[in-house]
Chains A and B, each alone.
Chain A
Amino acid sequence: MDAIIIETLIKIVVVVLIFSALGGFGTYFERKILAFLQRRWGPNIVGPFGLLQIIADGIKLFTKEDIIPINAERGIFIFSTLIIAVAAFTAFVAIPIYPQFTVFGYTVRPIVIDVNVGLLFVMGVMAVGMYSPLLAGMSSGNKWSLLGAARAVVALLSFEVITGLSILAPLMLVGSLSLIDINAYQMGGIDNWMVWQQPIAFVLFLIAGFAETNRKPFDLSEQDAEIIGGYHTEYSGMKYGLMMIGEYANMFVVAFLVSIIFLGGYGEAGSIVNGEAVGAWGGIWLILKVAFFFILFVWVRAAWPHIRPDQLMWLAWKVLMPLAVVNIVITGIVMMA
Chain B
Amino acid sequence: MAEALLLHAHKIDHTTRATFAPQHLIEVLTYLKKTLHFDQLLDVTAIDEKPMKMVYILRSHDFIDSYILTTSLDETHTIDSATSLFESAHWLERETYDQYGVHFVGHPNLTRILNHEGFVGHPLRKDYPIAQGQMCHETLDLLPQLQARLESKGILTRQSDGTYSSGSRDIMYLNLGPSHPASHGTIRTFVALEGETIVGAVNEIGYLHRGFEKSCENHTYNQIIPYTDRLNYCSSLANNVAFAKTIEEMLGVTLPDRGIFIRVMLIELSRIIDHLVCLGANLVDLGALTNYWYLFNPRETAYDFLTKLTGARLTNSYMRVGGMAHDLFVGWEEEMKRVLADVEQGMGDTLKLIEHNRIFHDRTQNVGILTPQRVRDFAISGPNARASGVPYDMRKTAPYYYYESFDFDTVLGSVGDVYDRMMVRFEEIRQSIRIIRQIMARIPSGAVSIDDHRIVLPPKPSVYDSIEGTINHFKLIIDGVRVSAQSHYSAIEAVNGELGFFVVSNGSGTPAKVKVKAPSFTAMSAYASMIEGGQIADAIATLGSINIIAGEMDR
Contact = CB atoms under 8 A, between A and B. Distances in A.
A318 B331 CA distance: 60
Contacts of B535: 308-310
A38 B289 contact: yes
Interface stretch (A163-171, A198-206, A223-231, A251-259): A223-231
B172 A303 contact: no
B288 interface: yes
Contacts of B284: 225
A309 B293 contact: no
B359 A217 contact: yes
A147 B537 CA distance: 12
A308 B285 contact: no
Contacts of B363: 305, 307-308, 311
Interface string A95-134: 0000000000000000000000000000000000000000
B353 interface: yes
Given A305-B359, A307-B362, A225 B290 contact: no
B297 interface: yes
A225 to B, nearest CB: 4
Query: Taking chain B's interface residues, is the majority helix, strand, or loop, or is none over half, making it mixed?
Result: helix
Interface string B429-465: 0000000000000000000000000000000000000
Interface string B272-303: 00000000000111111110111001000000
B196 A217 contact: no
Contacts of A147: 196, 536
A60 interface: no
A151 to B, nearest CB: 8
Interface in A299-334: 301-311
Contact of A308 (B297, B353, B357, B537): B537
Contacts of A38: 289-290, 292-294
Nearest to B183: A225
Contact of A309 (B196, B283, B288, B290): B196
Contacts of A39: 293-294, 297
A64 interface: no
Nearest to B180: A228
A311 B363 CA distance: 9
B182 A304 contact: no
Contacts of A151: 196
Nearest to B544: A225
Interface in B342-370: 353-354, 357, 359-360, 362-363
A304 B293 contact: no
Contacts of A234: none
Given A226-B536, A228-B180, A305-B354, A143 B290 contact: no
B544 to A, nearest CB: 8
Nearest to B288: A305
Contacts of B540: 225-226
Nearest to B536: A226
A212 interface: no
A21 interface: no
Nearest to A302: B290
Interface string B176-197: 0000111000000000000010
A219 interface: yes
A303 B154 CA distance: 43
A59 interface: no
A302 B289 CA distance: 7
B288 A304 contact: yes
Nearest to B353: A303
A303 B290 CA distance: 7
A304 B291 CA distance: 10
Contacts of A302: 289-290
Nearest to A220: B537
Contacts of B289: 38, 301-302
A224 B181 CA distance: 7
A40 B537 contact: no
A71 to B, nearest CB: 15
A305 B290 CA distance: 9
Contacts of A226: 182, 285, 536-537, 540
- Name the residue in B286, B287, B359, B538 with the highest tally of chain A Cβ atoms < 10 Å from its Cβ: B287
A37 interface: yes
A216 interface: yes
A223 B537 contact: yes
Contacts of A310: 196, 535
Interface string B151-174: 000000000000000000000101
Nearest to A307: B359
Nearest to B534: A308
A284 B419 CA distance: 46
Given A224-B181, A228-B180, A311 B362 contact: yes
B357 A304 contact: yes
**Interface pairs A-B: 5 shortest CB-CB:** A306-B287, A305-B288, A305-B286, A225-B285, A225-B182
23 contacts: A37-B290, A38-B289, A39-B293, A39-B294, A143-B172, A147-B536, A217-B359, A219-B287, A223-B287, A225-B286, A225-B540, A228-B181, A302-B290, A303-B290, A304-B287, A304-B288, A306-B287, A306-B359, A307-B362, A307-B363, A308-B538, A309-B196, A309-B535
Interface of A: 37-40, 143, 147, 151, 216-217, 219, 223-228, 301-311
